[in-house]
Structure 1
Amino acid sequence: MPLSPPERTELVRSNVEAPDTLDPARMRSGFAAETILSDLFEGLVGSGPHGEPVPAQAERWEMSDDGLVWRFFLRPGLTWSDGSSLKASDFVYAWRRLIDPLVASPSASLVLTAGINNATSIYGGALEVNNLGVEAEGDRIVRITLEHPVPHLLSIISLAPFAPVPADRVQKQGGEWARPGKLIGNGAFQLQEWTPQGEITLLRNPHYWGKTRLERVTYMTGLSTAREYRLYHEGRLQLTERVPASLLHSLREEQPPRLWHGAQLGTYLYTFNLSRPEVADVRVRRALSLALDREVLTQNVTGQGEPIAWSMLPDLTDYDSPLPAAAAWSRDVRLAKARNLLAAAGFSPDHPLRLSITFHRSETHHKLADAIAGMWAALGVEARVKELEWDAYEAAKSSGEFVIARSSLFGDYADPYAMLGQFRCRDPQNESGYCDEQFDALLVQAQNTLDVRQRARLYQQAEMILNEAVPAIPLYYYTQARLVDPTLRGLPLDGIHTVLPSRDLYFSQE
């Protein structure tokens, strides 16, 4: 009987961009360091195969009846990757550092979103960081006190910025502590080598509490889509971050074992600048949304077949996004209603609606803008496309120098508030200038409601208000597609996953 080949224990994967830091407090969610940090560090809570919160450094937790006090019980014998003891105080130090104005963490707002007691006052400079509502009860219990109930707290603190950091190293070595030869973590892997703009090599952490079947993970950074595919085709890369658009359809049909699909918590938008007279009338905004054939845009323009969007949010666990009535109408009915709305708003062939579409340089964005302008032309709307370089595009959005701008709506965690909160009055991420006190009040009420079904109903009411106001047009929900080695196992089968840690991945011929 022939012997089975030994199991492969080295994974080479793409990270597209090289991270500028491996310090959890200095990274930004969704940026280049996030996946690598998920290998090097681990928080109190992790994310399971269906996107659900699961025990990580904490083996269990409990919540008070009023939802204001949480206690997390660490696993016994936890250590850093150098073998030194990891204690509850390491989490306290890391979270205080995350909200410290002197550190100026890009992720400090997550502590505010988590509702931790005194976080707002500390962030504003009114209190010292040691007043943050997180403390150690001995070496194995982390106690968190909240200003109000936050039912989605577990999802928030599962994010990379909430990982512990070694206080003594950070304090002694400053910004150098997160470099090769100095960085110690508590994740399934430890940092061996980091070549700027090149490769990042991790080795299995022998002190990690859990198990992983991989011994080495190498991240190749700075790869173009074409180079990713070439390295994968040559067998030198076992997991990519992208798939060439021209190959996606054929791979779906001919080689499904080589393709992994996953949902993302994000929506592709066209955002209106509500201060501009061209789109100040809600009837105009509704008409422009109705005139778009989303199926044509995703099937023929992007070519990716993304799920079309009629609401701002995709469906989540315990939350079904409400659909406007227009989602069930035929194309002809939508166009007829769009024409009537524009006429009621005072636009006609003799007085056409003229506007511009601003987007940053990208072949896909340009194709979509051209297609959308053509769909609006059928209504007599004259839309001019305005392509800008990234810096100019960001400046235009920040200064309000746009009528309609290509944009996106992403959530850091799988709760409706993560995305809906970006439409609150005066929210820094609210690009449209939309403001509705009833909408804001529903979000506050939902945040203070522990009952899952009641919270979902409140969020649905808020989203229906948003759908009616149309501060932005949702076009489709983001998905991700990756090329995978046919023998790679452990990838999640469903749920929303923006980060795919290497811990659960392994190779098998079965």
Structure 2
Amino acid sequence: MKKSKLSLLLVLSLVLSMFLAACGGNKQEGTEKKEGSKETKEKLAAEQVLNVLESSEIPAMDSVLAEDTIGFTMIAATMEGLYRLDPEQKVIPGVADGMPEYNEDKTVLTIKLKKDVKWADGSPVTAHDFVYAWQRAINPDTASPYGPYFMEGKIKNASAIVKGEAKIEDLGIKALDDHTLEITLERPIPYIESYLTFPLFYPQNQKFVEAQGGNYAKTAANLLSNGPFKMTKWDGPTATEWVLEKNENYWNAKEVTLTKINFNVSKDPQASANAFTAGEADITPKLAQAAILSQYEGDPALLRYQEPSIFWIKMNQTNPALKNENIRRAIALSVDKQALVDDVLANGSIPANFVVPKGFTFFEDKDFREGAGEYLKPNKEEAKKLWEKGLQELGVKEITLTYVGQDTETSKLTDAFVKDQLEKNLPGLKLNIEAVPFKIRIDRENNKDYDLLFGGWGPDYADPMTFMDLWLTDGSHNNMEYSNPEFDKMIQSANEDTDLAKRWKTLQDAEKLLLEEDAALAPMYQRSVNLLINPKVKGFAHHAFGPDYSYQWIKITE
């Protein structure tokens, strides 16, 4: 999913090692460390209210229209699908009453639902709510950014529906009765259980959605929850504060201790740290900058880990200059990534010469990166030669490009560094930076309204495909006019191949084609995270894919 550059991160001390479900790896803990039975002996605070700072507004709260980390994290707090991740990154039942039952070739899943699950208004959650949400997501009229992208080639008839060759009702999901779902796949999917945790697949109450009409999910008043919390205050995508309160009708409400969560947007990392120190916030956004982080070295409030998110510069080939491979390659080779992570972010992030992160997916106990190369390593001399060659091919001496970044303080520092590097190393290049709010940046990306765009991606499920199929020709998340039939063919082969070792190698070869041969985009870094969390806050869980955090297990102690 699209990542906000936020107020980024720090020294890695916890590596999240996510293993392919089908390949037998164990998954690493994603919650703050517990001290044996000490936690159970600590006395709960009288007031179970949590105060959280975020570095961006919520672009969307409709589970079939959201496409970003903050939106999906808030949706996961207020909604629940068939499955979710627990604090140890294991897939556990949510609305489902147990794990799926499979047919012989694993293309049909039968899932029983709990019978005591309710919406916040007291009405029952049924299998029909899932069917409605999935059909709404694949319906071309909905224009879901994730529906076609996530379902095509995976859920039966999804591709045919998108092409207008099948009816929406033909989608491979059926309610056999109120509490039984049948899901039919186009092919066996080795990561299917982690895939089903994603918020796109959450239920929606048809009666409520249709009653709200065009206002559905536009504000807190137009939302209906079935998860641990319900949103009681949110005035829409421009709101800089919102409130979640415990949903007493949640099926597992007895295990939810928090009664209220107050969220406020803070785009300045120093202001966020100051608010934390003053006791005004219990959890900060992701932080960066050495001057800030050095204040908390050795502090038990500091939570540090490397996450499998990659940040890159997208190059929009609708611009004739960026259609030129030498120009793109010159840009990709011109930024000193080591200086970016050491001197600008200063937070433990690592240079990325790849699109599939380190420490994310494993096959036969080997990291995806072990059998793959590193591509587009910085080389200023080579970049200058390629740039001059590209200018000559284009018949110009200068190029001016619009560079879209984000409006957080850390983003502005990062973008200024990139601008300096590119303009200094590529004579004749001028960058005009436009720093915009996160939602606007997403809109600009989706509409291809940029030349260069600094963006990022975090995984949606536990498989390298979550990074690789972004670049398919005309893909809904491509949005830079990159197209290579050979790459498309490799991704299709990896989707269909049942030989997992061969599939793995195909994906590694596709990454090489994308970067080394085509210079389609310019990876910059793999992010490391630094959060300040009040030591009295216990049970905070962060995740390696899907929504960033879970709040339902949090308890506040005295």
> How far apart, CA to CA, are the structure 1 residues paired with 2:380 and 2:144?
47
Alignment of 1:377-392 (within 5 A): 381-388=427-434, 390=436
Match of 1:422 in 2: 470
Q: Partner amino acid for 1:235?
A: G
Q: Report the alpha carbon displacement of residue 346 of structure 1 after superposing the two structures with TM.
A: 8.1
Asked whether the equivalents of residues 288 and 410 of structure 2 are also in contact (C-alpha less than 8 Å), the reply is no
Q: Report the alpha carbon displacement of residue 134 of structure 1 after superposing the two structures with TM.
A: 0.5
Q: Are positions 1:253 and 2:292 aligned together?
A: no
Alignment of 1:61-460 (within 5 A): 61-113=100-152, 115-174=154-213, 183-194=223-234, 197=239, 198-209=241-252, 212-225=255-268, 228-243=272-287, 245=289, 247-255=291-299, 257-274=300-317, 282=325, 285-286=328-329, 288-315=331-358, 316-318=360-362, 320-321=368-369, 323-324=372-373, 334=379, 345=389, 354-360=398-404, 362=407, 364=410, 367-368=413-414, 371-372=417-418, 375=421, 381-388=427-434, 390=436, 398=447, 402=451, 404-460=452-508
Q: Partner amino acid for 1:69?
A: V
Match of 2:73 in 1: 35
Distance 1:492 1:248, change over 3 A: farther
> How far apart, CA to CA, are the structure 1 residues paired with 2:73 and 2:130?
20
Asked whether the equivalents of residues 114 and 156 of structure 1 are also in contact (C-alpha less than 8 Å), the reply is no
Match of 2:28 in 1: none
Distance 1:220 1:317, change over 3 A: same
Q: Report the alpha carbon displacement of residue 474 of structure 1 after superposing the two structures with TM.
A: 0.8
Match of 1:483 in 2: 532
Q: Partner amino acid for 2:481?
A: G
Q: Partner amino acid for 1:504?
A: W
- For structure 1, list consecutive stretches of 5 or more residues without a partner in the other structure: none
Match of 1:503 in 2: 552
Q: Report the alpha carbon displacement of residue 292 of structure 1 after superposing the two structures with TM.
A: 3.4
> How far apart, CA to CA, are the structure 2 residues paired with 1:355 and 1:494?
41
Q: Report the alpha carbon displacement of residue 195 of structure 1 after superposing the two structures with TM.
A: 6.0
Q: TM-score by structure 1 length?
A: 0.82
> How far apart, CA to CA, are the structure 1 residues paired with 2:458 and 2:338?
22
Asked whether the equivalents of residues 153 and 186 of structure 2 are also in contact (C-alpha less than 8 Å), the reply is no
Asked whether the equivalents of residues 71 and 141 of structure 1 are also in contact (C-alpha less than 8 Å), the reply is yes
Asked whether the equivalents of residues 114 and 150 of structure 1 are also in contact (C-alpha less than 8 Å), the reply is no
> How far apart, CA to CA, are the structure 2 residues paired with 1:265 and 1:161?
20
Secondary structure of 1:95's counterpart equals: helix
- Give the structure with higher Rg (CA): 1
Q: How many residues align?
A: 497
Q: Report the alpha carbon displacement of residue 461 of structure 1 after superposing the two structures with TM.
A: 1.4
Q: Partner amino acid for 1:443?
A: I
Distance 1:231 1:496, change over 3 A: same
> How far apart, CA to CA, are the structure 1 residues paired with 2:244 and 2:62?
16
Map Cα deviations across residues 471-491 of structure 1 (whole Å, 9 max, x no partner). 111111234432211122223
Asked whether the equivalents of residues 360 and 389 of structure 1 are also in contact (C-alpha less than 8 Å), the reply is yes
Asked whether the equivalents of residues 327 and 391 of structure 2 are also in contact (C-alpha less than 8 Å), the reply is no
- For structure 2, list consecutive stretches of 5 or more residues without a partner in the other structure: 1-40
Distance 1:125 1:353, change over 3 A: same
> How far apart, CA to CA, are the structure 2 residues paired with 1:74 and 1:103?
27
Asked whether the equivalents of residues 354 and 375 of structure 2 are also in contact (C-alpha less than 8 Å), the reply is no
Point out the more displaced range, 360-369 or 428-437: 360-369
Q: Partner amino acid for 1:501?
A: S
> How far apart, CA to CA, are the structure 1 residues paired with 2:465 and 2:206?
32
Secondary structure of 2:282's counterpart equals: coil
Secondary structure of 1:137's counterpart equals: strand
Q: Report the alpha carbon displacement of residue 46 of structure 1 after superposing the two structures with TM.
A: 0.8
Secondary structure of 1:447's counterpart equals: helix
Map Cα deviations across residues 381-432 of structure 1 (whole Å, 9 max, x no partner). 4432222354799769956773x54444454434322222222223343344
Q: Report the alpha carbon displacement of residue 446 of structure 1 after superposing the two structures with TM.
A: 1.2
> How far apart, CA to CA, are the structure 1 residues paired with 2:141 and 2:60?
18
Greater relative CO, 1 or 2 (CA 8 Å, sep 6+): 2
> How far apart, CA to CA, are the structure 2 residues paired with 1:151 and 1:326?
28
Map Cα deviations across residues 438-471 of structure 1 (whole Å, 9 max, x no partner). 2111111111234544432221111111121211
Map Cα deviations across residues 181-212 of structure 1 (whole Å, 9 max, x no partner). 78543212234455663432312435423753
Q: Report the alpha carbon displacement of residue 143 of structure 1 after superposing the two structures with TM.
A: 0.7
Q: Partner amino acid for 1:426?
A: D
Q: Report the alpha carbon displacement of residue 242 of structure 1 after superposing the two structures with TM.
A: 3.5
Point out the more displaced range, 41-50 or 444-453: 444-453
Distance 1:429 1:142, change over 3 A: same
> How far apart, CA to CA, are the structure 1 residues paired with 2:63 and 2:277?
33
Same amino acid, percent of matched pairs: 21
Map Cα deviations across residues 349-389 of structure 1 (whole Å, 9 max, x no partner). xx997544532365655654554465567766443222235
Map Cα deviations across residues 261-320 of structure 1 (whole Å, 9 max, x no partner). 354553222233457675666456545544432111111123334221001221322251
Asked whether the equivalents of residues 292 and 376 of structure 1 are also in contact (C-alpha less than 8 Å), the reply is yes
What value does the CA root-mean-square deviation take over the aligned residues? 3.8
Q: Report the alpha carbon displacement of residue 71 of structure 1 after superposing the two structures with TM.
A: 1.7
Distance 1:430 1:258, change over 3 A: same
Within the candidate set 33, 57, 69, 2:95 is matched to: 57
Point out the more displaced range, 351-360 or 119-128: 351-360
Point out the more displaced range, 310-319 or 389-398: 389-398
Secondary structure of 2:100's counterpart equals: strand
